[in-house]
Amino acid sequence: MGMRSVLAAAVLLLSAVRLCAGQALVPGVMIFGDSVVDAGNNNRLATLVRADFPPYGRDFPTTHAPTGRFCNGKLATDYTVENLGLSSYPPAYLSEEAQSNNKSLLHGANFASGAAGYLDATAALYVSAFALQQRHAGAAPHARVLTALDFISKCECCAASLTLLITSCVQGAISLSRQLDYFREYQSRVAASAGAQRAAALTSGSIYVVSAGTSDYVQNYYVNPVLAATYTPDQFSDALMQPFTAFVENLYGLGARRIGVTSLPPMGCLPASVTLFGGGGSNGGCVERLNNDSLIFNRKLGAAADAVKRQHPDLKLVVFDIYQPLLDLVSNPTSAGFFESRRACCGTGTIETSVLCHQGAPGTCINATGYVFWDGFHPTDAANKVLADSLLIQGLQLI
């Protein structure tokens, strides 16, 4: 049976179950991790790693406006939420909606933060001079929703190097440890507003999506000479397994029973990675050594997940493979209806992300539907739909 036939069968099965039950397949979705799944939490931080300005969000349904998602439209997790039959997307936990309205939290929440990693040090490593200035003045890190222009004007020192601009002007993101703290707070708020019984059912019945690891490499290991001198890539992947295991164990301890963790993507195929770390040949191919690092990490992630499952027979834990689906899109884009998989839509398509991907970036494509990548690191809405369909098949056992 071909992939499309399997997908069609999965969709029909889920639709039939939803029709019979008359409701969503799960009570909620909880999302943790990095910029691939951040729905706007970084909007509330004094950070350059943000996407709350055009052209981000230009293809987002109904609003066609930036939301804080690092995409022109919807994330793969947005499509996953739709596939599960939920009527609304889990709000970014730091958003005004989530902070002011407990009812908005009754179907889950999004705790993810661009630049977060399994290592807390990844989220805290790079602090901009502007962020330090605000902290010194006693300002709360999310006292005001800041704009891209604030940071462009305050971080002129970084303009001399694209690599530094991307990796050195980053305020501490919301680490995974801090995301867990927010989740504990979330549980208390839901219990207070909806009752302990409903809160417990929401916690145990929801699907938890965790997407992390790429920032640990691209924004930490690959640009941190101390780490690179201390660990080989293989040793660094070992160092990430302990915080991964601890995070899943903490989620389990807080009541999670259905957890889906994404693998690393082919990091060497991200347009910005090719630009920053060297191409794979004259045809603009992927960086092989980075892809090898992804594969090493993914093998160890699978083994670590299996070890956790052996400790907890009542835990459903799935590692979602996004490496192969994304590699297939990059290697053979036309088979899925795309025509450009090496260059991103935004700007030159080689490096731009976050504040470099702005309204005035020259060269931005008019129609992103034929592009696999929206910016230097993140897929387009159309590619996210393909990835979400793959996750749907892999995640059936979580439902």
Residues 6+ apart with CB under 8 A from 188: none
Which stretches does DSSP call E strand in 138-257?
A: 207-211
The whole-angstrom separation of Cα 199 and Cα 84 is: 19
Nearest partner of 121 among 215, 262, 250, judged by Cα: 215
Which residues lie across from 318 on neighbouring strands?
260
- Evaluated on CA atoms 296, 298, 303, 304, the torsion sign reads positive
**Amino acid making up residue 2:** G
User: What six digits make up the tokens of 356?
Assistant: 């470099």
**Residue tagged 């661009």 (tokens):** 114
The whole-angstrom separation of Cα 388 and Cα 49 is: 24
**Amino acid making up residue 109:** A
- Do the strands 316-320 and 108-110 form a parallel or antiparallel pair, or are they unpaired? unpaired
* DSSP 8-state symbol, 90: P
Q: Are 220 and 153 in contact (CB under 8 A)?
A: no
Q: Are 207 and 84 in contact (CB under 8 A)?
A: yes
Radius of gyration of the chain from Cα atoms?
20
Distances (CA, A) of 9 to 4, 21, 322, 393: 9, 18, 20, 9
Q: Are 110 and 154 in contact (CB under 8 A)?
A: no
User: What six digits make up the tokens of 347?
Assistant: 């700007």
Which residues lie across from 106 on neighbouring strands?
108
**Amino acid making up residue 378:** H
What residues act catalytically?
Answer: 35, 375, 378
